[in-house]
Every structure is written in C-alpha cells, then in structure tokens.
Chain A
Amino acid sequence: MAVYEHAYKPYAGPLTPEWSRFLVIPRHAYRDVFGSKLFTGFFAMCFLCPLVMAILIYLHHNLTAMAIFQINLRDLAPINGFFFQFFVSFQTVLAFLLTVLIGPPLISRDLANNALPLYLCRPLSRAEYVIGKMSVLLIMISAMTWVPGELLFLFQSYLEGAGWAARNLWIAGAIFVMSWIWILLLALLSVTISAWVKWRLAASAALFGLFIISNAIGFTVNGVLQTRWGGLFNLTIIMKTIEDSLFREPNSAGLPSWMVLPTPAAWIALALYCAACLFLLTRKVRAYEVVK
C-alpha cells in the first residue's frame, strides 16, 4: 500500500507486545495536552514545591547557609513525617487541579464522537481502554507526587545518613502509598465522570462538586446528627484520615475528636467509592449501548 502504488497491501512487519498497547492512549493524549502552553506552564509550576523542599533539605544540612540567613531551620521546619505529609498534601491539591483540567474530556470526547467502537474493534479490551485513559493521569500525577517525594526522601537520607533512612523508611512507604491512593481515586473519579457526562464543563464542575458537595453533606450529617459517620460521605475527610494513619500524624486537620473517623471505616468507604466508580465504568464503557 505504498503511496505511489495505490494498491491494498497487508502489513507483514513486527507488532508491538500486546501488554504495551494501552500505553498508546496516553502517548497520543499527551500530544494534545501539552499542545496548550497554559497547561504546560501549570505542569511546570507543579514542580516548584519539590524544588523548594529540596532547597529546605539542603539548607538543613548546610550550617554556613543557616548562619548567613540567621535562621534555625531544624526548629522551624524539622524534616520528619509531617514535612513529607505536607509535601504529599500540597502536591495532591495540584494533582486535583490537573485532573480537573485534563480528566473530563478523556472518555467523554470518545463517547461524543462514537469513537469507542474504533478502539474496541482492535485488540484492546475494555479494561485496557480504561487503564489507557487512566494512565494519562496516572503517569502525570505520579511525576508530581510520589516520584519527587521519594527523590526528596533519598536526598534527605543521603545528607542525613543511613541511620535516619532506616529509622524513617516508613515515610517512604507512606509517600508512595498515599500518593497512589490519591492518584487512583482521582483517575477513577475523573474517567467515571468523563464517561457519564459528555459536556466537558459539566464534567469539570461535577468533579469539583463531588468534593465540595460531599464535604458539605458530610459536615451537615455530622452536625445535625452529632455523629462521626457523616465523614463517610466526605471524601476529603476519608482521605485525610487515611493520610494521617499512614504518616502517623493523628488528626492533622484538627477536627473535634468526636468527628474523627476510625481508620478502617475510612478504608472501607474508599473501597466502596472505588467499587462504585468501577461499576459505573463497566456500565458505560461499551462499544455500543444496548437500549431496552
């Protein structure tokens, strides 16, 4: 089928490994995403926090610099679990904004253009399609959360010594696990909303609203019924509870003690949210909908 031949010719060359084909989706998506200078600028800004924190870690171990600036960083910002928890919390806020920017059109665009049959008539399963779409977010958010987080941990370990690293290895684990929980939740919520809401603005609003409304509902239920279980409707509280348990910082949000959710309940609620997302995705991501 060479251009000059004008004849149909089958393809006889090598094929890519089957497992890697879902990665085609994020690769092509990035081409569009980074076509926007505004977005590229925002994504670059997401690395400011890791840079600032790396400088702080460096200054912690540079007595000359501390003497010049006449500050004692070891007291002002000790490098401990809370230091890294703050980093993860800050970066996940940025990750949420990034998700709002690029998440909504991921599947809705394909649905609006009836492109799903074109994907699914190829050797690509529905699960691989969804994973491919989620990978757009998984890779980008990873690049701004756990990857720089672990690098900061390694940097601190290098400067502080192996003893510190051994004592605080749980921090590395917490950075990794908490980042991935946020990544998976954001990606799942994003693609689910994208699959059900075709209009991009509405999908972005729905993603915002999910956190804001669930927050409002949770606190209302807690206030009216004087119970802690309203927190199960509040995604922010659920995530904060899990984060506190992983970083060993009880109630870092400063909630009244009767409002604090038990950690197992937060995990179960999170699992239920994810299961609901998967269920909704299974219902919607089909080549063709069968109308009864």
Chain B
Amino acid sequence: MDNALQKTPEPIVEVAVLPKAPELVPAAPVINLDGLSVTFGGRPILKELRGELRGRAIGLLGPNGAGKTTLIHTLLGFHPPSSGTAHIFGRDIRSDAKQIRTQIGYMPERDSFIANMSCVHFVRLMAELSGLPSEAALERAHEALFYVGLGEARYRKVGTYSLGMKQLAKLAQAIVHGPRLIFLDEPTNGLDPPARQRMIELIRQIRDSGKAHILLSSHLLRDVEECCEEILIVKQGRIVVSCNLEEERKSNLKFLEIETRGDREAFVEAIATLGCEYALTSERRLKLILQNGVEIRDLYRIAGEQEVQIRRLNFKRDSLEDIFLKAMEGGNGDVGHVAGLPDRGKQ
C-alpha cells in the first residue's frame, strides 16, 4: 500500500485567516439598513434595503447601475432617503448626518481634488474641515501622505500627479482625520498591477489595524475577496446577498474535490454506502459531499481497502465569484436571497 494511504494527511485548506482586531469589536452594527429606499425623479434606485453590517471590511458588490454608489452617497447624506433610514454606529442618517460625517472618511470614485494646491495643503485643508486644529491637521497630513506612500511627492500640486498618485492622495484625504469608518468607492480603478497591489495592501493594513471599518465598493471581485470579510451584493436596488465570507467558506468545508488512482468504481460505490453524494468530474477526479458523521479518515480507510490512491484532496469552497454569479443568476433582484440563511440553495 502506498504511504499516502497509510496516514491521513492534512487537507489543503485555502481559507484566508484574518488577524484578530484588538480594539474594534462593535456591539452595535456598523451600518444598519432599516428599509432604506431612495428615489430619483420618481424612479426607485434603492428599494427597501434591510440588513446589518458588522464586519471590519465590508465589500459592496453589484453590477453597474445596481445602486452601490447611491447607497454610499445616501449614507453620507448626499441624497435624502425617500423612505426608511439607516444607522451608522447607532446614529440615524436622517437626523445625525453631521455627527456621522465626523466619523467617516470617503474616497470618491471619480477624480476629486483641488488641482492647483500642493497635496499636503489639500490634505491639510480636508483635515481642518473635519475639525482638526490647524497644526494637528498639518501634522496628520504629512503622516497620512507618508503612510500612503506619497511622502516624497507631497509638495507637488495634485493636478500634476499620475492616476495612481491621485488615487493615493484621495485615500490620504479620506484617512487624515482618523475616521472610524472609511467608504472606498472603486479604489483600484485605473491602477496598474503594482499600484493596485499597493492600494490593496494599504486597505488591508487599515483593516488589520482594527481601528477603522471599511466599506469597499468595487466591481472587481478580486479586490473585495482580498480585503473583505463580509459582503453585500446589490442588484437592481435590492440586496441579493449579504453574508460573512469567512462563515460562508467555513460552511462549505463538507465539499471535497478528490483526485484518485486505481479502481475508482469500487471506491465510489463504497463511498456511496456511507451516504455521501458524489459526482464524477473527469477520469480521475470526483466531487463529493461529506455526510454528518463521515470523516476524512473514513475516505482514506475506504481508499486503502479498495487499493485506491488518493493523490489530491481539496476542500471545495465557494469563491466570491461563485457567490456573485449565483446572486446574479438567482432572480432579477425582486426577491431577496440572503446567503447564510438556512433556506439558501447550495451546490
């Protein structure tokens, strides 16, 4: 018998583990959507959004025109809700918009800056408008610019910056006043791969500092997957998925992909006797769902009995792309499908 079959190896697990947040353990949800609706010119843009978001990094996903940016703008108080409301850190966006904005940093999607100002002057102005005294604002502006990597270019006018530098300058102005919640609207738009990586690194650093929550709106699933632990997928103005990515991944630990050598027919028949469902995906590969009470070691035992080698065993987890595509296929947005609830469908 092959050595691989004699002892149970550790399965390959591809679940990203987030560091523990030392300070940020919100008792109340960061964002609480309470039937939030927004209408422009009689046309509903956001429809009765409900849900609680508690994650340190929340990904806001959806196709173009789904209402992601409108949701962010409404939370910032740019658009008044037509009905319902939302709470940020327990404060109502209808009545406490100003207090809420003291705790929020916002990085807009489009180029937004004051062209003929030096970057440090620009970031300082933004800090002062957030309420920092002049000297503290200047100090924080320097720190923020060094933090995002624009330290050496901070005295240049923002209008002369490259696209990547402008994105970093926007991030610097969003964090200069040390907000508790940062809205990032398409932060990696138009960035080349190294600049994108740098931006993702910064977002992850802020997230891992545990001192600020992040709401990241993006149509790039990879960005969200790399940064976020919780996602909200919006389609046609409705929430179609709201789930914790970590929990979603953990809940999929019963799904296995196995590659074998040997008499596969006998092996799958034996597995079927354990009550496990399986599907043959290629000549040597199969997918199966472990039933309750069945352990990995049982598979290795059966493989040993049938003289089959298990060459590879992976936990199959739903990638964010799977979740997103399922959400997009799962109706037209009229019916809210919330992953993580017991009635959800899982393949």
Give A contacts to B, CB under 8 Å: 1-3, 6-16, 18, 21, 24-25, 28, 31-32, 109-110, 112-115, 117-125, 286-288, 290, 292
Contact = CB atoms under 8 A, between A and B. Distances in A.
A18 B132 CA distance: 11
Contact of B111 (A109, A114, A121): A114
B110 interface: yes
List 10 A-B pairs, minimum CB-CB distance, nearest first. A11-B178, A10-B178, A15-B131, A121-B106, A287-B78, A114-B112, A1-B143, A8-B209, A24-B128, A3-B146
A13 B73 contact: no
Contacts of B205: 7-8
Given A10-B178, A117-B106, A122-B101, A288 B129 contact: no
A199 B106 CA distance: 27
A10 B99 CA distance: 16
A118 B173 contact: yes
Contacts of A114: 108, 110-112
B346 to A, nearest CB: 37
B131 A18 contact: yes
B113 A118 contact: yes
B156 interface: no
Interface in B72-98: 73, 76-79, 98
A1 B177 CA distance: 10
Given A9-B211, A123-B129, 10 more contacts: A8-B175, A10-B178, A10-B211, A11-B136, A12-B178, A16-B131, A120-B77, A123-B131, A125-B98, A286-B78
B216 interface: no
B125 interface: yes
Contacts of B41: 290, 292
Contacts of A113: 111-115
A118 B130 contact: no
Contact of B112 (A12, A115, A123): A115
A3 B172 CA distance: 13
A11 B115 contact: no
A115 B40 CA distance: 23
A8 B40 contact: no
B140 interface: yes
Contacts of A288: 73, 78-79
Nearest to B124: A28
Contact of A120 (B78, B133, B143, B151): B78
B143 A121 contact: no
A8 B147 contact: yes
A117 B108 contact: yes
A113 B157 CA distance: 13
Contacts of B121: 28, 31
B147 A1 contact: yes
B332 interface: no
Nearest to B130: A122
Interface in B124-168: 125-126, 128-133, 136, 140, 142-144, 146-147, 151
Contact of B129 (A11, A12, A31, A124): A124
B104 interface: yes
A75 B118 CA distance: 57
Nearest to A24: B128
B270 interface: no
A12 B140 CA distance: 11
Contacts of B129: 21, 24-25, 119, 122-124
A256 B75 CA distance: 59
B103 to A, nearest CB: 9
B79 A290 contact: yes
Interface in B182-220: 205-206, 209, 211-212
B133 A10 contact: no
Contacts of A7: 147, 205, 209
B112 A117 contact: yes
Contacts of A12: 178
A2 B180 contact: no
A10 B104 CA distance: 11
